[in-house]
């Protein structure tokens, strides 16, 4: 290129490329971070809860704890304590069932709101068999859906699914009546009748206490297998330390009456069946530690657990 001659450049053709304008989601302004949804309220919170019965008996005193919302997980809170220490009182206050409900002092919150009474978000499984004697297994499992007005076709379809999920044989067992079932089978029916309603909270008051040891271990394995299906928080009262450690994500140890929470322990989740877990040295180490604590507690002079 000769000196003094101006440099020529080829013209640029096409559409210039520029950065796209910043867009905002509906209801937001450009450059302003989208606000995060507030965290879910705790599933259950006890704030200084005391229960005194009309006769002056103090069942629990100043009970305080929080169980956070754990999405997509069936969290187990197992509750251990001497007879008469108020374990069942804690469950029934969550359920909103008289005469334990209402509390004498303090507030019980479920889902961020004070408990006002029983609700469909809470289901309960008792130690006593609670099936309707004049209804078949299928009709017992479907009963709650019937009360909700679900059509017979749909509720029986869902009931058959849950009969299978709890380990019963749909063809062989669905048309049986409760008196034709063993104790373990009756409790499977009770669990299916509760979980079919998809409660957010499941309250279990020594549901396996009357079962033989082999059946009891099988039922523990069943509950673990239902963890993903139920997606609920379970409060489980038991006198068995091994059962509490196997099932629990955390374990509450309740003092002698008037009951209060002495300890809250995190325990490792089960990754093997109950029989195998209970042979592990690390499992038994946790059991022995809790047993030492329990041995220091004196059972209440009151006969039954309240």
What DSSP string describes 42-53? Answer: PSEEEEEEEEE-
Residue 244 has pLDDT above 80, yes or no: yes
pLDDT at position 287 = 94
What region, left, alpha or beta, does residue 279 occupy, with left being phi > 0 and alpha being psi -120 to 50 degrees?
alpha
Percent of the chain past pLDDT 90, that is, above it, reads: 66
Q: What is the pLDDT of residue 32?
A: 62
pLDDT tens for each residue of 10-57:
444 444 444 445 555 555 556 666 667 677 889 999 999 999 999 999
pTM: 0.82
Q: What is the dihedral of CA 242, 244, 249, 252, to 10 degrees?
A: -130
- Report pLDDT for 57: 94
Class of domain 44-130+206-295: alpha beta
Q: Does residue 142 have a pLDDT over 80?
A: yes
Mean pLDDT of 105-124: 95
In percent, how much of the chain has pLDDT > 70? Answer: 83
pLDDT score at 50: 97
**Euclidean distance between CA atoms 200 and 196, whole angstroms:** 12
Residue with tokens 């299916």: 192
pLDDT of residue 127: 77
Average pLDDT over the chain reads: 85
Report pLDDT for 116: 94
> What is the C-alpha separation between 267 and 244, in angstroms, rounded?
9
Helix axes 213-225, 183-195, angle to 10 degrees: 20
Q: Which residue, 105, 92, 5, 124, is CA-closest to 49?
A: 105
Q: Report the alpha-carbon distance of residue 74 to residue 83 in Å, rounded.
A: 27
Domain ranges in the chain? 44-130+206-295
Assign residue 231 a region (left: φ > 0; alpha: ψ between -120 and 50; beta: otherwise). Answer: left
Write out the two tokens for 246: 């196997």
Mean pLDDT value of segment 228-256: 91
Burial class (CB in 10 A: 0-12, 13-18, 19+), 297: middle
Instruction: Supply the pLDDT for residue 9.
Output: 42
Q: What are the Cα distances from residue 226, in Å, to 74, 187, 222?
A: 8, 14, 6
């Amino acid at each position: 290129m000769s000196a003094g001659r101006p440099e020529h450049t080829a013209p640029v053709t096409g559409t210039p490329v520029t950065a796209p304008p910043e867009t905002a989601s509906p209801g937001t302004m450009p450059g302003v971070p989208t606000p995060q949804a507030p965290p879910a309220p705790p599933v259950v919170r006890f704030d200084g809860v005391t229960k005194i019965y009309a006769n002056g008996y103090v069942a629990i005193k100043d009970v305080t704890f929080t169980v956070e919302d754990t999405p997509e997980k069936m969290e187990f809170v197992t509750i251990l304590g001497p007879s008469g220490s108020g374990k069942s009182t804690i469950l029934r206050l969550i359920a909103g069932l008289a005469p334990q409900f209402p509390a004498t002092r303090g507030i019980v919150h479920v889902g961020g709101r004070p408990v006002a009474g029983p609700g469909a978000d809470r289901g309960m499984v008792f130690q006593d068999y609670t099936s309707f004697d004049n209804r078949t297994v299928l009709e017992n499992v479907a009963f709650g859906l019937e009360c909700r007005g679900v059509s017979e076709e749909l509720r029986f379809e869902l009931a058959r699914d849950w009969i299978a999920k709890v380990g019963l044989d749909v063809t062989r067992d669905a048309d049986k009546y409760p008196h034709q079932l063993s104790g373990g089978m009756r409790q499977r029916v009770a669990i299916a009748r509760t979980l079919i309603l998809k409660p957010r909270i499941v309250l279990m008051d020594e549901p396996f206490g009357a079962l033989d040891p082999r059946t009891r271990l099988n039922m523990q394995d069943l509950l673990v297998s239902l963890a993903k299906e139920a997606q609920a928080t379970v409060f489980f009262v038991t006198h068995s330390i091994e059962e509490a450690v196997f099932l629990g994500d955390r374990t509450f140890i309740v003092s002698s009456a008037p009951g209060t929470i002495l300890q809250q322990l995190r325990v490792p989740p089960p990754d093997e069946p109950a029989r195998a877990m209970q042979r592990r040295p690390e499992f038994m180490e946790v059991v022995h530690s809790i047993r030492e604590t329990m041995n220091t507690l004196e059972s209440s002079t009151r006969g039954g657990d309240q």
